[in-house]
Structure 1
Amino acid sequence: MLPGSCVVLTRKQGDEKETDKIDDKLGLKQQKVYRVTEIPEDLNVFSIVKHPLLFFSFCTTLFKIIKKEHISHVIFAHSSFFYFFSLLPLKLVLHLPFICIFHGEDIPVINLKSNGLFRWLINRLDAYACNSLFTHNRLQEFLGKKIPEFIAYPGVEEKFFQHMDKNECKKQFGVSDRKVMYTVGRLDKRKGHDLVIRAMPEIIKKIPDVIYLIGGTGPYLPQLKSLVEEHHLQDYVKFCGFIADKDICAFHHCGDVFVMPNRILDDGDTEGFGIVFLEASASSRPAIGGSAGGAIEAIEDGVTGYNVNPYKTEELVEKIIYLLTNTDKAKAMGKDGKKRVWENFRWNMLAAKLENELTRYV
């Protein structure tokens, strides 16, 4: 395999034309893609019992690709029992390092019978990469030991840095004459959309022309719609549904303030980092996030936005009103955020750092 090149193994799914476009782009970057059917939807502790033939086929396929492409090390981009069980037979016949990138919410924080097995399997890995310091600390706590600090932050695509006409973007989403606060991403409870909706009545008192745009789909949508109806906020909260890739930059640019007061749920679910905060910053938008999980690393508090206590509504209200009414401060934070992301979180820079880390640890 050529230095700096890699091979991607992933599940075959979705729109074939779209995946072909992605694969073509990866091919230009010396990345070969194998899309296979041997990876089941469920990757939990019972996965190899429920899918023994798929598991055997997956191990065989992975082994063949490793030998054919002369792979020097294997990185699992997602932690799961299914992948980690494959370590056991593969490490017997392959003298290669196996690494996993952890994202935070994939590390157990509640006591389950399967934790011991999961911990034992993780200890079979040769290195642990984490998407933030928060995730690194959570993994150390789960393993009960110190591990080398190997941080692999996610990056921001170059398209988010482009300049777009704010008025045209507002017109596109039908909010030309409104002050716009917005969130985009999967609708999960941990992201705190409900906290923003509950804060809306107080915000409206100070800013009557405000509107909250929610982009994305997910399991929490029915509860959020019910909450909007309960507080009679139909004129102030707009559900925009899934935001297509071609519209995502315009969605950021139509907003004045990005807000997502993420929190840690009782089962430990949280934002391991929060790449969307960086995408908002790259789009010159100030960001408000929760003082929880990896968001405290994605937002530089007081410089590119604010980290607020997600359970203190008055704090959330105060920061939203402040940024929506202080245009100069909001612009300054957007400018500082864009500069920070450009200098630290572009993919080409992070890829080079990851390669250096792999060289150092492996």
Structure 2
Amino acid sequence: MSAAPSAPLPGVTALPEPPAPGRPGPRRTSRPGRPVWEEEPGPVGQGLKGVTLGVICLAVLGPLWVVVVTSLSDQRTITEAGGLVVVPRTITFRAYQELLGGGTVTRAVIVSLLVTLVGTALSMAVSVLCAYGLSRPGSLLHRPILLTLLVTMFFSAGLIPTYLLVTGIGLQDSYWSMILPSVVSVFNILVLRAFFMNTAPELIDSARIDGAGEWRILLRIVMPLSKAVIAVISLFYAVGYWSQWFNAMIYLNDASKWPLQMILRQLVIKEQAPQGMAQMIATQQVPSLAVQMAVMVLALVPVVLVYPFVQKHFTKGMLIGAVKG
């Protein structure tokens, strides 16, 4: 004889019996109050997601492919394609060899690299120190200083006063004119400040009890815990300095001090060939369109190489710094 099923204890919910062989189990239902966008997508939703991601990838990688292929094409291939090349036929590195052969473009690449490295280091030093001071409650005049920064974020003096200030302090035709006017970003300071404010107060208080000063707290506790946001803000500053051309156009009269973006502007907008390549382009030894695309590729390479190393910190750094601020 089989034993009768025992009654569940008071206050204890009985577990559902497993389905019999060959009989489908109970249908899963969504949690009550769960938003629609958190539900597991069905086959149609998965397909739409795949198609959408594919279209986005084509929209991003398609133009990049065309630029790279055109920069590696000869004059005959470009002429037959009627301009930009989509399908490569003859691959040649002549445009890159001429650009990086020690002329104007090589010097411009070096200038852009130096300005990016020095500018990013200086901007991060100023931003981290300012953000840490503003994140400490009770610091001297931190509220008036924060309010002043917020005002400058929405209202600026304008181009003419900025030009008069830069030229008045002797930065005309100097490399510092591409760095100092852009050394501070209020938005980046606010993101860093919001991240620093989330540091556990117990850690800072225990460090102070052990005799640590503000410099040691910043360097040994706050910054190691803020690697994500520091990496993201460093990327922001680096891309800004690398892509900068407006300050060079205004303040630099010596073409030998131009960054790479100014050379690209001269090629694409004014159609002026770099010094030493005008004759080769005129005689069609090097296609003009291939030179333009090659300069674009050179301008994209540093960002493409650096971004994968920072991408893992990007979402975490921006969301924590923005949402919890």
What's the TM-score once normalised by structure 2's chain length?
0.19
Which has a greater percent of strand? 1
Which has a greater percent of helix? 2
What's the TM-score once normalised by structure 1's chain length?
0.18
